Structure 1
């Protein structure tokens, strides 16, 4: 934050833990607004996640179909998962790609960070591209059920435009993929 942002900043006055779960923590903070009044902010404390944009040699991408209980729908998504405590984000991406899809990658490139739901969550998703893929055996977590499939970038773009893809991280990932494919975004590839 810069000094130019000071007129926008809210300051913590007090904090209340509403829920401490295995995966999420819900908090209610009382804050002092820039006009010196008080307000409450309820939000979810999230440990962070990684999303992988897996590129096959023929230009297709690896995607998943997974039921998402909170909205009661099967969604099309790029592979992703929660970062474990103390886990390096790249290692998390490599682990999630293998566990969920069975693929390993020879090269990885960090693309950046996105915040999918800034109004009520601290979640930050670290985005990686992966290429030089080799298919092996999936290692799904207990209780994890998903289908893995491939699609062309044109198919994925059409699904994003038509509303078939509604997952925010996958929509953002498609934008980053499109920019990379058009040469508008350079990536620094590193061996796995």
Structure 2
């Protein structure tokens, strides 16, 4: 099946903003009917999220203040990819830096595109188990609380609207399906 009748073609592109982390572009595009319009979007390097489960089944979660929303959010551990870094290496690094946990086993579940209307961002979803607690190594200027909750508690918070973070909601969807046996994961040993 062809997507030609839906595809937009870039005619011009200009950089509106180049920050330390993000870039904003404005493109002039040709629509499928030949008309022209503009598209503004954010260039994002990509990220990972980790659904880390303790041996007792509880989940490793974080509480972190998110400035754009001016509130503390409940989230799964996550972070952006560094240049040249593999997704698994990023997941291992972020879990250790933010929570102090390292994992013996990892499984890539899939990918999430959280804001398809205005960003190139993708988030690779990783599961981790066989956790060992070590020392956190937070980045300068990073402040967060680490705690654990049962899958049932997290699901209730999602239903009550206490959890509104898209990646965490998606992680909960994956977790529910994995726990029910509807979806499977391909586990691998951690790489050092």
Check whether TM > 0.5. yes
Quote the Cα distance in structure 2 between the aligned partners of 1:55 and 1:127: 14
Q: TM-score, normalised by structure 2?
A: 0.98
Q: Any idea what SS the aligned residue of 1:44 has?
A: strand
Alignment of 1:72-83 (within 5 A): 72-83=70-81
Quote the Cα distance in structure 1 between the aligned partners of 2:72 and 2:117: 24
Query: What is the aligned counterpart of 2:110 among 99, 109, 112?
Result: 112
Q: Which residue of 2 aligns with 1:173?
A: 171
Residue 148 of structure 2 is aligned to residue 150 of structure 1:
yes
Q: Any idea what SS the aligned residue of 2:2 has?
A: helix
Q: Any idea what SS the aligned residue of 1:7 has?
A: coil
- Point out where structure 2 has 5 or more consecutive residues left out of the alignment: none
Q: CA RMSD in A?
A: 0.5
Query: What is the aligned counterpart of 1:128 among 126, 129, 134?
Result: 126
- Point out where structure 1 has 5 or more consecutive residues left out of the alignment: none
Alignment of 1:44-63 (within 5 A): 44-63=42-61
Residue 79 of structure 2 is aligned to residue 84 of structure 1:
no
Q: Any idea what SS the aligned residue of 2:28 has?
A: strand
Question: What is the total number of aligned residue pairs between the two structures?
Answer: 190
Quote the Cα distance in structure 2 between the aligned partners of 1:73 and 1:15: 35
Shift of 1:145: 0.0
Quote the Cα distance in structure 2 between the aligned partners of 1:12 and 1:164: 40
Deviations 1:11-40 (A, max 9, x none): 000001000111000000000000000010
Q: Any idea what SS the aligned residue of 1:100 has?
A: helix
